[in-house]
Structure 1
Amino acid sequence: MSEMDELRRRVEALEARVDEAMAERTTTHNLAVGADRDVAALQVQRRADMQVIRALRETQLEHGKTLAEHGKLLGALVSGQVAMMEQIGTLTGQVGSLTTQVGAITDHLGIAPPEQPREEG
């Protein structure tokens, strides 16, 4: 083989390796560009997710305050109802006592109590 043939063969081999390297570089560049786009899309999605999480947190805080207010209102209503039931019990006892006293007074005076409404039938 002549020196020129050897040189031609080596140049062809070198050109093939350069072509391979350029193809690999193009592939690597395309992968890097795709990865960069993916990362950017993930960052946008992460920001959106964080906004949703913040909004949910705010909503939970508002609901917590509302529930606390409702709890206080309900507690006040129950307390009021218990107090009212105690007063009704006291009044019922007083009415019973008054009825007994009126009966004793009418017996003592010898008068008949007012008639109960009669059932017609």
Structure 2
Amino acid sequence: MSNLEDAMRRIEALEAELDELRTKVGNTEFLAGAADRDASELRAALRAHNQTLNALRETQLEQGQRLGTLEAKVGTLEAKVDDGFAKTAAGLQEIIRRLPAQA
């Protein structure tokens, strides 16, 4: 075998290896692009989840404030009802006291 034939075989082997490497690079670029798109979609989904959680937090804070106001109003109403029942009971006791005793 001559050096030329040996060199040609080596060149052909290198060209085949180069084609294989080009295919692998193309596949790698495709996969990298897909991974980048997936990561972008994930980031967008996480942003949406964070926005939802922040909106939920704001709603819960507002509801907590409203609940505090309602609790105060209920406490005031309870006091008024208790006072009204106490006055009614006292009035009934006074009526009973003034009724003539039956023997």
Report if TM-score (shorter chain) is over 0.5.
yes
Structure 2 match to 1:109? none
Distance 1:90 1:83 in 2: 10
User: Normalising by structure 2, what TM-score?
Assistant: 0.91
The one-letter code matched in structure 1 to 2:95 is V
Gaps in structure 2 of 5+ consecutive residues: none
What number of residue pairs does the alignment pair up?
Answer: 101
Partners of 1:97 and 1:41 in 2: how far apart?
82
**Cα distance, 1:93 vs structure 2:** 1.4
Percentage of pairs with the same residue: 34
Tell me, in whole angstroms, the C-alpha distance in 2 between the residues paired with 1:5 and 1:66: 91
Deviations 1:32-89 (A, max 9, x none): 1111111111111111100000010011111111111111111111111111111011
Q: Distance in 2 between matches of 1:25 and 1:93?
A: 99
Compare relative contact order (CA 8 Å, sep 6+) and give the higher one, 1 or 2. Answer: 1
1:57 and 2:57 are equivalent in the alignment:
yes
Q: Which residue in the other structure is 1:79 paired with?
A: 79
Alpha-carbon separation, structure 2, partners of 1:96 and 1:3: 134
Whole-angstrom CA distance in 1 between matches of 2:26 and 2:7: 28
Choose between structure 1 and 2: higher helix proportion.
2
Shift of 1:99: 2.8
Give 1 or 2 for the bigger CA radius of gyration.
1
Structure 2 equivalent of residue 9 of structure 1? 9
Query: TM-score w.r.t. structure 1 length?
Result: 0.78
Equivalent in the alignment of 2:45:
45
> Residues of 1 paired with 2:93 and 2:54: CA distance?
58
Q: Residue 4 of structure 1: CA displacement?
A: 1.5
How many Å apart are 1:97 and its aligned residue? 2.5
